[in-house]
């Protein structure tokens, strides 16, 4: 394996875990989406197992990042948009959690300093 590719694959386990955590996805959810058992996700994230090109592409899509970022070839998560990440996190909340979040936002808005610019 060429040296540059070897370095990219060495950093992949850490970036896979980082992307999964940032996307708010559990190892069980990732495994279900990929069609593998949960230990396979752990193996990918610890480097005990190599990631196929198909798995890499599917995980990048699932986590909302580019495959290039997962391979360490770019230093920014090209598709990492705050609104997209927020939507992914919110999508996993149940109705009760959403209601608590809305209440917390109302409280923050009521207590905010006049100079703080929060959307109304």
Domain-located, residue 59 = yes
- List the chain pLDDT tens, one digit each, 120 residues: 444 444 556 688 999 999 999 888 999 999 999 999 999 999 999 999 999 999 999 999 999 888 888 888 776 654 556 666 676 677 777 888 888 888 988 888 888 766 655 555
Domain-located, residue 68 = yes
pLDDT, residue 62, reads 92
Tally of CB atoms within 10 A around 12: 20
Looking at the fold, whether 7 and 66 belong to one and the same domain comes out as yes
Domain-located, residue 60 = yes
Looking at the fold, whether 97 and 40 belong to one and the same domain comes out as no
The whole domain housing 86 covers: 82-112
Domain-located, residue 120 = no
- Rounded Cα gap, residues 110 and 120, in angstroms: 10
Looking at the fold, whether 61 and 22 belong to one and the same domain comes out as yes
Looking at the fold, whether 56 and 102 belong to one and the same domain comes out as no
Query: Encoding tokens for residue 78?
Result: 């090209």
Helix (H, G, I), strand (E, B) or coil at 53: helix
Nearest to 59 by CA among 41, 80, 84, 78: 41
Domain-located, residue 93 = yes
Looking at the fold, whether 57 and 107 belong to one and the same domain comes out as no
Domain-located, residue 47 = yes
């Amino acid at each position: 394996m060429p040296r540059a590719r070897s370095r990219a694959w060495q950093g992949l386990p850490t970036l896979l875990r980082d992307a999964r955590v940032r996307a708010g996805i559990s190892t069980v959810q990732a495994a279900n989406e990929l069609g593998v058992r949960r230990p396979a996700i752990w193996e990918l994230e610890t480097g005990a197992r190599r990631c196929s090109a198909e798995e890499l592409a599917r995980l990048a899509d699932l986590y909302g990042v580019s495959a290039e970022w997962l391979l360490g070839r770019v230093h920014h998560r090209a598709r990492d948009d705050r609104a997209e990440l927020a939507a992914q996190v919110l999508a996993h909340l149940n109705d009760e959690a959403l209601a608590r979040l809305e209440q917390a936002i109302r409280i923050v808005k009521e207590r905010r300093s006049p100079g703080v610019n929060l959307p109304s």
